[in-house]
Structure 1
Amino acid sequence: MKKFLRGRLQGYGRAYRLNLKDTGWGMKLVVLVITGFFCGALASEYFGTKLIFFVGGVILGDMLFAGAACLFSRIGGRIWYRNIESFLYGIAGFLIFVCCCVYGSVGNEHMVSTFFAALIYFLLLLSGRFIWAWLVKRRHTLFSGIHFAVGCIVWCAFLAFLFGQGFSDRYISDYLKKNIYVTQAGEVAGFADYCAKGAYTPVCLTYGPDGGTDMTTRTVDLSPYVAKEKKWHRIYRSFFTKHTRKDAPIAGKIWFPKEAENCPVVFMAHGNHSITAESYRGYDYLGEYLASHGYVFVSVDENILNERSGENDARAVLLLENIGEILEKNGDESQPVYSKIDEDNIALMGHSRGGEMIADAYLFNEYDAYPSNGMFTFDYHYRIRALIAVAPSVSQYLPAGHETELSDVDYLVLQGANDQDISVFLGNEQYENVSFSKDGSYIASSLYIAGANHGQFNTEWGEYDIGRPFSLWLNVKNFITAEDQQEILKIASLVFLDKSLKEKDTYADFLTDYAKYAEYLPETLYVQQYETSDALFITDYEEDSDLETAPCGSVSAEHFTMWTEEELADSESAMGKRENHAVRLKWKDTKAAYYEIALDEPMAMGEGGICFDAMDLREKAENEPMDFSVVLTDIHGNRAVSTLCDSTILYPAFPVKLSKIQYITGKNEYKRQLQTVHITEKQFTEENGFDRSQIRSVRFAFDRIENGAVNMDNIAFVK
């Protein structure tokens, strides 16, 4: 038996050894197939699928790769030895393979992705060698047959892994199966009819400077706001557009209600995407829907600024120039949009970079000079009253080096937990930078949506948030459908716009209590946070690092294993810092822990009660949800008590997997979001004589579960 095994192993070594001198055409062919595919797919994405279809891009990429490989192999062959081609092909293939894997493994550690890419690459080469030996070398022995079968299985599994949608994610269904995490909401009278298609007939038209549109517009010089391209970039862009930064087109698409005049208007700005895609057409579903409800909806074409960097200030200027042009048409009797728009009721809406940019546009609208160079002046001053940001970026542009601070404007932000482009909720930063004075009634609201990605909000972008070949590593099987994702945006936008622009408050509590309307929303998990201008803050944890002080009093805590004030993070990833601080409390094997704020001066609680933001730091759905008591004490020592679960279901972290490799490694990226808890005055059980106008202290008593950890922020009384 030993002799037989020794002979088999020696034969195996002779047949399948993988050294530089005996790589042969089998290895070359395998490497060429892999590198050819990735290079070709990359070229097809770069050169655009509109003018050069996918197969043409693959051919072009393969030609470029083959030419470069032959050149280097000939040079190398002069210096080293005859088989240097195989070595170079292998190295080139390996580098391309690893880079694609690492870039496409969103949310995974680069070292882990690199290791798995190297392992997979080695297995593919080895398996390819087995297949080549069986089919070409005709080595039809028992062991080579087994190797051939194993090689075929490896390759089939890899191709299925690469070109499949990925793996089903179960955390949403796991949370929903536990009845304790399901919102028990009843019917809301009239809401189903309210959020259905409206009574008006939507009409669509186009505008632009190049003819073939329903309205002719002008161009605008954006050169002061966007950097000059390099020569090769200008040549590349000239294949797709005749316009430049000096004559950017004012163009887009308008939806309006046929039967109505003097309607509120929404200007929508898309984000960065391929220059070959007509991104502004991806919101037709939203334009048709809002027009049926009596809004004018303008989707602005900012494609001239796509595939650039450092251009978000130019995007803001282009949006404002579009507003001016459309409002001018609104006053022209010869134009089809004449008198359709109420110029005192304007909202801005943006997606991705557009979602960040609308905040810059709001600032520019108030300014008389460009913050980055005061020699360029502004004169806009339109009546912008509301902003809606969809999966926004942040800090692409910092006005004069400062964060974009907004004041006294209604603000709504939405993001998906499965966003693979902006993989953490960057919109939190802008949300935290919205403030209110005591004049007027304003709201900032955010909605975090499990199973939603970045691109499905735009019908032109779809389910893949990054381009090929990197997108082959993304997991997209765990998304909610594009129709559901768009339905959420439609409903949230309608309620918000009705509240902000039409001052219709019938269903405005959707922005503060989505759970009441859960029956009308697609089935998934939602985390909602909000702030209103009538909040009277006790603390927001931004004042200092002294744990025992608050702006309105002193703080004490007992029986915790951890008590600190920390900067929050969206996830473990380095880019997840929010520039927002909160208190962190952790307790173990006790129900006696408490955190108390003793007020220097008594404060009054109105009918609105008390609200605060909380985050359950546990990493899975437990058998009991996070719960604790909120105890108010007045100046006479009388108490009023309520519990968290009386008003809100607080979700643990969402264990999200964004890439296919995360399913192999079993690594989750835990998405943690603050959730606003609102306990009304009626939800408190009061002792006789409790005086809600003379509250002396607020205590959070962690007396419901023995082990847990939370963040808390923005503690305030509500009128």
Structure 2
Amino acid sequence: MNLEYSEAKRKNRIANGLRRRLAGLRERDSGIWRYGIVLLWMLSGTAAALAALGMPTGFGTTFDVVAGFLLSTAGMAISSWTVAVLLALAGARVPRFTIGGFLYTGVIVYCVLMYSDLGWKASLVFSAACTLVTLAIGLAVGAIAVLSVRRRLLAIGVAALAALVTIVSIVGVSQPASEDRAADGDREVAKGDGEVRALSVIPSDPSQQGSYSYRYLTYGSGKDKHRADFGEQADMRSSSVDASAYIKDWPWLRKQFWGFDETALPLNGRAWMPDGDGPFPVVLMVHGNHLMENFSDDGYGYLGELLASRGIAAISVDENFLNYSTWSGIPDQDMKLRAWMLLKHIQLLESYNEQEDSPFYNRLDLERIGLLGHSRGGQAAAMAADAERWFSEDADLPKNGTYRVKAVIALAPTDTEVDGGKPELRDISYLTLQGAKDADLVNFYGDRQYGRVSFSGHTDAFKASLYIEDANHSQFNTSWGRSDNALPAGLFIRPKKMLEAEDQRQIANIYVSAFAEAVFHQSKQYDALFRDYRAGSEYLPETRYFNQYEDGDFRPLVDFEGEDRTSPSPGVAAEATNLTEWRQAEALNRQGESKEGKGAVLEWRDEASFSLQLVPSLVGGLDNDEILMFSLANMGRELEANTEAFEDPDEIEALQKAVESPLSIDIELEDLSGHSARLPLDEFMQAEPQVATEFTWLPRLEAVVSEGKFKDTEEPVFQTYELPLKDFTDANPDFDPAEWTRITFHFNEGPGKVMLGNVGLTAG
């Protein structure tokens, strides 16, 4: 009995002790600590709301933000109570709820920053700093609130001064280690007079509406849960397609959102159809990977309207159901599936073209098809154009000979290997556009596909590329917004001095329209634009451009594929004078990956030269109508990384000047008789400084954000140069192009570094 009484008394004593400790659970969170808790609550809720914007549910932005804030509030309440109880039981005489809220807020901010690909170290530092500063501000506000009016004003002034000093200090710390380089976007680059030699300026603006009126219509399943244009308001019904041969992983959440699985993918399209009998060429446009819940297919209406006004049927293909979702991921075979869906749309158009009750009846010329893609869509377009590589055994696709893809247009495309292969286009015209401030695809992958386009000769097909200094990834699509990165990552990844959305789309309008006119209407009026971007300078927005061009008439002389640098190609011997580096190498992108093309890397300190001796059989029989064509990439910024090799202050100063200025290069041609003509390259086009881009607003973040994705600020980008042989004979009438045997590149000033690409001839 006594034992039972003692045990009960002991338990009662423990219970009373616990009650006493828990009785004052909140007493130390009064006063100024309450203000700290409120501000921590606001910070954690804001962080959660920002994260919610980056992982939409499909119920709308307001729902996502409110849900994120409320869930964070519930999480903070639970966490604060849990920590407070544990601290009370431990007998800690501290503001327990404040500590609980502080810990919760720090964890939430850290998780959000990690979700932004900031890296664990930077996320830890930023989250700790943000949480501490927020708590300090809250406590300061609480302290000011209990002061008299006079003291309150004084305290506010001191706090404002302290905040100003803190901001100035942070800005100072965030500056690059070297102040010698001008800030991106503020650098002035010396410009030439803009004269286009031996090429005509385009006669009109290809971005202007053409003479055709057009009709907008849609086709779809009629059952779309989210868009009436593909649901009950669709102008035409289309049957679903079974993609189960290519995909198995269709999560339950994805099926709930869309209302279908991989066995019943819809064929949805937005069409801009020219008025008239036709038949009209067809351009199918397809978006890339974006958040599934934020639809992408309506983002190319500006291109659809322009093409239709110029007598080209344009169709924007819906593949949103193949895109990424925070809640259901992305299909494993999405790249192949994107291309397969394009082919199924071509098959659908074949049937519409034969249906008498269809608006497309006998009005589509399926022998003149263009495929335009953005991001992953750009790769899908090239894959669909090379369909036999992946779909040769698929009997349910349109048959060879029933249609013909004549052109592929890729806006900032991907270029990943699929089933061990990549598309290789032959006698298909190709155009690719890329922004240097693309924070999604920081590398110019379209450059690699450009290199895999070949011609059999005597073809009208050609290929062209355009690299745009101030363009980004998303603004080619009107639905993707200004930032290339969803929140919260978009808070940190913000390149300076980007083109306005209208200007970036103006570039797309100009090049896509001109390309379509050249390919589908055999118009020659815009040819000069692809050979030299300056031909369209009257209409192009102000920024820097780099372009490449090649057509079926191009005859390569030197491709630098040889193993020996002194014998870079069959029938070619190379020699150099005063070069500090001379090697043949793969061109590399920002991540050190191959751009799938080789060239001669040439570096010099002072005056230097590089010569290529050609056997007579390579160039025999030339006349003044031929044009010397070569590609050159200015790699001068790579010298900045090796400034320790320059000991003389004058050399370092010269290096900084050289990096920011066009190169001084002369081109000399010599014939078998020893007669030569030497001309400055900048009389034709300047060798512009390399483009460098800072992607984050804190330069020191470049190396840590997205696992170092942005740490290299530039990649070598080739520019095609055209030098008519007539200009050399004008300079020296004794020079005989028919006996041309040597080309020499004279580098007049140093230091400098370039990569020289393909050298060849083309028709004038």
TM-score by length of 1: 0.84
1:417 Cα deviation after fit: 1.6
In structure 2, relative to structure 1, the CA distance for the partners of 1:614 and 1:418 (3 Å cut) is: same
C-alpha distance in structure 1 between counterparts of 2:734 and 2:282, whole Å: 51
The 8 Å contact of residues 558 and 572 in structure 2, kept in 1 or not, is answered as no
Task: Report what 1:13 is aligned to.
Answer: none
In structure 2, relative to structure 1, the CA distance for the partners of 1:22 and 1:652 (3 Å cut) is: farther
1:390 and 2:419 matched: no
Deviations, residues 111-167 of structure 1 (Å, cap 9, x unaligned): 67875665555444433433333236889589955553356658999999xxxxxxx
C-alpha distance in structure 2 between counterparts of 1:125 and 1:643, whole Å: 64
2:294 paired residue among 268, 277, 291: 277
Task: Report what 2:546 is aligned to.
Answer: 527
Task: Report what 2:698 is aligned to.
Answer: 661
C-alpha distance in structure 2 between counterparts of 1:52 and 1:322, whole Å: 30
The 8 Å contact of residues 104 and 474 in structure 1, kept in 2 or not, is answered as no
In structure 2, relative to structure 1, the CA distance for the partners of 1:126 and 1:196 (3 Å cut) is: same
1:129 paired residue among 131, 135, 139: 139
In structure 2, relative to structure 1, the CA distance for the partners of 1:709 and 1:113 (3 Å cut) is: farther
1:62 and 2:69 matched: yes
The aligned runs of 1:18-167 (5 Å cut-off) are: 24-48=33-57, 51-54=59-62, 56-71=63-78, 81=90, 86=98, 89-98=101-110, 100-101=112-113, 119=129, 122-135=132-145, 145=156, 148-150=159-161
C-alpha distance in structure 2 between counterparts of 1:136 and 1:404, whole Å: 71
1:550 and 2:558 matched: no
SS of 1:347's partner is strand
1:75 Cα deviation after fit: 5.5
C-alpha distance in structure 2 between counterparts of 1:43 and 1:138, whole Å: 41
1:391 Cα deviation after fit: 1.1
C-alpha distance in structure 1 between counterparts of 2:715 and 2:504, whole Å: 19
Task: Report what 1:464 is aligned to.
Answer: 483
Task: Tell me the amino acid that sits aligned with residue 612 of structure 2.
Answer: I
Task: Report what 1:611 is aligned to.
Answer: 629
Task: Tell me the amino acid that sits aligned with residue 525 of structure 1.
Answer: R
Task: Tell me the amino acid that sits aligned with residue 50 of structure 2.
Answer: A
1:621 Cα deviation after fit: 7.5
Task: Report what 2:3 is aligned to.
Answer: none
C-alpha distance in structure 1 between counterparts of 2:669 and 2:196, whole Å: 28
The 8 Å contact of residues 588 and 715 in structure 2, kept in 1 or not, is answered as no
SS of 2:687's partner is coil
Deviations, residues 332-382 of structure 1 (Å, cap 9, x unaligned): 111112122111110000011101111111122x35x637xx577644432
SS of 2:49's partner is helix
1:289 Cα deviation after fit: 0.9
In structure 2, relative to structure 1, the CA distance for the partners of 1:183 and 1:93 (3 Å cut) is: farther
Task: Report what 1:7 is aligned to.
Answer: none
1:670 and 2:714 matched: yes
Greater alpha carbon shift after TM alignment, 705-714 vs 291-300: 705-714
The 8 Å contact of residues 41 and 57 in structure 1, kept in 2 or not, is answered as no
Deviations, residues 79-131 of structure 1 (Å, cap 9, x unaligned): 6646676556445544554565576589xx98678756655554444334333
The 8 Å contact of residues 105 and 474 in structure 1, kept in 2 or not, is answered as no
SS of 1:247's partner is coil
1:695 paired residue among 740, 744, 755: 740
In structure 2, relative to structure 1, the CA distance for the partners of 1:336 and 1:637 (3 Å cut) is: same
Task: Report what 2:355 is aligned to.
Answer: 332
Task: Tell me the amino acid that sits aligned with residue 144 of structure 2.
Answer: W
SS of 1:354's partner is helix
Deviations, residues 425-475 of structure 1 (Å, cap 9, x unaligned): 222121222222225232111111122121111111121212122222232
SS of 2:284's partner is strand
C-alpha distance in structure 1 between counterparts of 2:358 and 2:169, whole Å: 58
1:645 Cα deviation after fit: 0.8
1:201 and 2:213 matched: yes
1:684 and 2:723 matched: no
Task: Tell me the amino acid that sits aligned with residue 389 of structure 1.
Answer: A
In structure 2, relative to structure 1, the CA distance for the partners of 1:76 and 1:53 (3 Å cut) is: same
In structure 2, relative to structure 1, the CA distance for the partners of 1:278 and 1:432 (3 Å cut) is: same
In structure 2, relative to structure 1, the CA distance for the partners of 1:91 and 1:582 (3 Å cut) is: farther
C-alpha distance in structure 2 between counterparts of 1:312 and 1:363, whole Å: 14
1:73 Cα deviation after fit: 5.3
SS of 2:143's partner is helix
1:597 paired residue among 594, 598, 612: 612
C-alpha distance in structure 2 between counterparts of 1:487 and 1:617, whole Å: 29
**Greater Rg by CA:** 2
The 8 Å contact of residues 539 and 550 in structure 1, kept in 2 or not, is answered as yes
The 8 Å contact of residues 630 and 643 in structure 1, kept in 2 or not, is answered as yes
In structure 2, relative to structure 1, the CA distance for the partners of 1:261 and 1:578 (3 Å cut) is: same
The 8 Å contact of residues 517 and 523 in structure 2, kept in 1 or not, is answered as yes
In structure 2, relative to structure 1, the CA distance for the partners of 1:99 and 1:627 (3 Å cut) is: farther
Task: Tell me the amino acid that sits aligned with residue 213 of structure 1.
Answer: A
The 8 Å contact of residues 202 and 526 in structure 2, kept in 1 or not, is answered as no
Deviations, residues 524-555 of structure 1 (Å, cap 9, x unaligned): 21111122222222233344364554333222
1:585 and 2:602 matched: yes
1:189 Cα deviation after fit: 7.4
SS of 1:462's partner is coil
The 8 Å contact of residues 657 and 663 in structure 1, kept in 2 or not, is answered as no
Greater alpha carbon shift after TM alignment, 114-123 vs 128-137: 114-123
Task: Report what 2:235 is aligned to.
Answer: 214
2:204 paired residue among 171, 174, 192: 192
C-alpha distance in structure 2 between counterparts of 1:665 and 1:476, whole Å: 11
1:710 Cα deviation after fit: 1.3
Task: Please report the RMSD computed on the Cα atoms of aligned residues, expressed in angstroms.
Answer: 3.6
C-alpha distance in structure 1 between counterparts of 2:535 and 2:481, whole Å: 30
Aligned length: 672
Task: Report what 1:345 is aligned to.
Answer: 368
SS of 1:130's partner is helix
Task: Tell me the amino acid that sits aligned with residue 635 of structure 2.
Answer: L
Task: Report what 2:227 is aligned to.
Answer: none
Show structure 1 runs of 5+ residues with no match: 1-18, 161-168
TM-score by length of 2: 0.79
Show structure 2 runs of 5+ residues with no match: 1-27, 172-181, 223-231, 325-329, 638-655, 704-710
C-alpha distance in structure 2 between counterparts of 1:73 and 1:479, whole Å: 43
C-alpha distance in structure 2 between counterparts of 1:112 and 1:611, whole Å: 48
| Percent pairwise identity | 27
In structure 2, relative to structure 1, the CA distance for the partners of 1:518 and 1:460 (3 Å cut) is: same
1:319 Cα deviation after fit: 1.0
1:715 and 2:734 matched: no
The 8 Å contact of residues 464 and 476 in structure 1, kept in 2 or not, is answered as no
SS of 1:693's partner is helix
Task: Tell me the amino acid that sits aligned with residue 322 of structure 1.
Answer: H
1:600 Cα deviation after fit: 4.2
C-alpha distance in structure 1 between counterparts of 2:125 and 2:335, whole Å: 37
SS of 1:596's partner is strand
